[in-house]
């Protein structure tokens, strides 16, 4: 898609500039000019009183032979030789989708020194592992990922590609989609195959999480989706011996516009919330940063990590990486204890798949109780100390 401005027709009236929500168009020497911030939303097209602006869409419908595209792929991301958990979650979902489409499941991993793990992908029902090997790909290079993946995708033509919505996945997925004119839906929370068309149905929250949109990309292939860690569960389902295809790439630093100077590790080794088995989370109802000591104490006796609603991050009661919800982390611990959290939809989407949810809230009508398996109606400042004492007693009895 592109925006075309007819310089002859443009009168320099500025209606388009006023209509653009993104600063994507400006007047230069009295003629409208598109800037790098244009999102192709088309607001300027409607605003132009002299029809000098048009949005040109290429029609891919007839150009793509969809029958050439087969198979479900998962791109395996890793950091410092550790494969991200989301990869196993996507492989489990990918196997389901591949079964429905009656096609194979392939995992693609770019890196160095992964020979020993390649076969273990078979535990997740993978039929083929494509290993793009290069010394340089030990670390993430955005443009080399885009280059290597675009090439193999163009060559092998998968119909579905699943990618973790991790910082790196969010970086290379849209760049590949743009390069290949593929459809991409970011941050999906549900994936299904449409019965009659066999298109991928990609569901994700929209309008601030107030509604769920199901998106199809029926005229382009491959269909690409990013999914946040924790949305799907990882299950070892098979003991397959996958076919392993190794592709050697002789990338050199000069092939990339990026040069990695230093890899800085996070200072404090907190457990990532997405990996925590127990989370005690606090909301505005906790009352203050000082009061969070109570939440911390409960977390300590339970061996839990601390989390919170967005309000607690905005009020600076907790660090940013502790936020649970739509704009924070999606978590699926064995136990989630929500203290003084109302249960706004944006919070629920980040924790409702937890195995057991306990909610403590003084308002019996708080929406958090609609997802809680156990609810305690009461003042958390009175309830939590009692809980802590009881847990300590049980622990002492066990010792
Ligand atoms: C685009 C967008 C994205 C967002 N993303 C997120 C997100 O990722 N995560 C997130 O959490 N929110 C997010 N929000 C904000 C969300 O809409 C809510 O505002 C937020 O979750 C509310 O936080 P809360 O439950 O802590 O506070 P409140 O809604 O104010 O609830 C406080 C609760 O504490 C209870 N309470 C008060 N005192 C006590 C007490 N002494 N004992 C027991 N209970 C008590 C009250 O009854 C109430 O239910 C987002 C909003 C938008 C618009």
Per-residue pLDDT of 245-302, as tens digits, reads: 999 999 998 999 988 888 876 655 568 899 899 999 999 999 999 999 999 999 999 9
Ligand 1: which of 309, 339, 368, 369 to mutate, judged by most atoms within 8 Å of the beta carbon? 309
pTM: 0.62
CATH architecture, range 273-398: 3-Layer(aba) Sandwich (3.40)
Cα of 336 vs centre of ligand 1, distance in Å, is 15
Average pLDDT for 27-45: 92
Q: How confident is the model at residue 10 (pLDDT cuts 50, 70, 90)?
A: very high
CATH 3.40.50.620 boundaries in the chain: 66-255
Average pLDDT for 328-350: 96
- Looking at ligand 1, which atom is closest to the CA of residue 379? 42
Hey, whose CA ends up nearest to atom 36 of ligand 1?
A: 285
Cα of 295 vs centre of ligand 1, distance in Å, is 16
Q: Rounded CA gap, 153 and 134, in Å? A: 18
Per-residue model confidence (pLDDT) at position 266: 61
291 lines ligand 1 (CB under 6 A): no
- Residue 79 above 90 pLDDT? no
Instruction: Evaluate whether the domain defined by 2-56 bears CATH number 3.30.70.20.
Output: yes
Phi, psi of 354 (to 5 degrees): -65, 150
CATH 3.40.50.1220 boundaries in the chain: 273-398
Q: Rounded CA gap, 213 and 119, in Å? A: 37
Give the number of other Cβ atoms within 10 Å of residue 157's Cβ: 15
Mean pLDDT of the chain: 92
Average pLDDT for 304-313: 96
DSSP secondary-structure letter at 272?
A: P
Cα of 229 vs centre of ligand 1, distance in Å, is 22
CATH 3.30.70.20 boundaries in the chain: 2-56
Average pLDDT for 186-200: 94
Ligand 1: which of 341, 367, 372, 385 to mutate, judged by most atoms within 8 Å of the beta carbon? 341
Average pLDDT for 338-356: 96
* Max intra-chain CA distance, the chain: 86
- Residue 229 above 90 pLDDT? no
Structure-token match 């994700």, residue found:
204
CATH architecture, range 66-255: 3-Layer(aba) Sandwich (3.40)
Cα of 311 vs centre of ligand 1, distance in Å, is 6
Residue-wise pLDDT for 208-219, tens only, equals: 667 889 999 988
314 lines ligand 1 (CB under 6 A): no
Q: Rounded CA gap, 281 and 328, in Å? A: 13
Helices (H), the chain: 15-19, 43-47, 85-101, 142-156, 167-180, 292-302, 310-314, 345-351, 380-398
């Amino acid at each position: 898609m592109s925006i075309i401005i007819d310089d002859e027709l443009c009168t320099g009236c500025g209606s388009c500039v006023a209509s653009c929500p993104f600063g994507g168009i400006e007047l230069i020497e009295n003629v409208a000019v598109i800037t790098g911030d244009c999102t192709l939303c088309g607001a300027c097209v409607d605003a132009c009183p002299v029809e000098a602006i048009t949005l040109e869409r290429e029609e891919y419908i007839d150009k793509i032979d969809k029958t050439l595209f087969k198979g479900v792929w998962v791109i395996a991301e890793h950091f410092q030789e550790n494969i991200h958990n989301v990869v196993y979650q996507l492989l489990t979902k990918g196997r389901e989708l591949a079964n429905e489409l009656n096609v194979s499941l392939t995992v693609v991993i770019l890196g160095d020194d992964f020979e020993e793990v390649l076969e273990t992908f078979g535990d997740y029902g993978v039929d083929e592992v494509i290993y793009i090997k290069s010394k340089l790909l030990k670390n993430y290079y955005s443009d080399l990922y885009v280059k290597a993946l675009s090439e193999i995708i163009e060559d092998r033509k998968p119909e579905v590609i699943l990618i973790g919505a991790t910082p790196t996945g969010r970086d290379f997925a849209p760049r590949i989609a743009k390069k290949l004119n593929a459809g991409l839906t970011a941050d999906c929370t549900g994936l299904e195959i449409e019965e009659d068309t066999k298109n991928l149905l990609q569901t994700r929250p929209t309008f601030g999480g107030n509604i769920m949109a199901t998106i199809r990309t029926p005229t382009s292939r491959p269909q690409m989706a990013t999914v946040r860690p924790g949305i799907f569960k990882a299950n070892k389902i098979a003991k397959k011996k996958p076919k392993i295809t190794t592709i050697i790439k002789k990338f050199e630093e000069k092939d990339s516009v990026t040069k990695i100077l230093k890899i800085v590790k996070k200072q404090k080794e907190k457990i990532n919330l997405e990996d925590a088995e127990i989370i005690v989370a606090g909301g505005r109802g906790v009352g203050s940063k000082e009061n969070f000591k109570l939440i911390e104490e409960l977390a300590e006796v339970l061996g839990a990590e601390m989390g919170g609603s967005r309000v607690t991050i905005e009020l600076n009661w907790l660090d940013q990486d502790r936020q649970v919800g739509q704009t924070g982390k999606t978590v699926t611990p064995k136990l989630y204890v929500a203290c003084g959290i109302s249960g706004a939809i944006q919070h629920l989407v980040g924790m409702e798949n937890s195995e057991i949810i306990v909610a403590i809230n003084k308002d019996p009508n708080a929406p958090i109780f609609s997802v809680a398996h156990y609810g305690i109606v009461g003042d958390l400042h009175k309830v939590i100390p009692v809980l802590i004492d009881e847990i300590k007693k049980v622990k002492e009895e066990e010792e």
